[in-house]
Amino acid sequence: MKKPLLSLPESGPVQGEGDYDADQRYVESARAFVKAGKVADAAAKAAPTTTVEQAELERAERSGLAHSKGEDPASPQAPSR
């Protein structure tokens, strides 16, 4: 009898995109990062340092926006209309 290449547990936590424990850890970590006041410093460190890098970022943003279907009106981050 052939052995399966991948065996999944019979029961246990949902993994992959449904890994709720990982999601909770991420949310808690992100909130702690913001509460600690580290956002402005991280944003400054992530800013482009050359005009070439700035142009690459702008080109990537235009490319991503070209594929966008627009803001989800149900999203809490959606601009008010």
Q: Count CB neighbours of 66 within 10 A.
A: 7
pTM, two decimals, is 0.54
Cα Rg of the chain (Å, integer): 20
Mean pLDDT calculated for residue range 38-61: 96
10 occurs within a structural domain: no
Token reading at 70? 């627009």
78 occurs within a structural domain: no
71 occurs within a structural domain: no
Domain count, the chain: 1
Domain of 40, in residue numbers: 21-66
> Mind listing the pLDDT tens digit for each residue in 16-36?
667 888 889 999 999 999 999
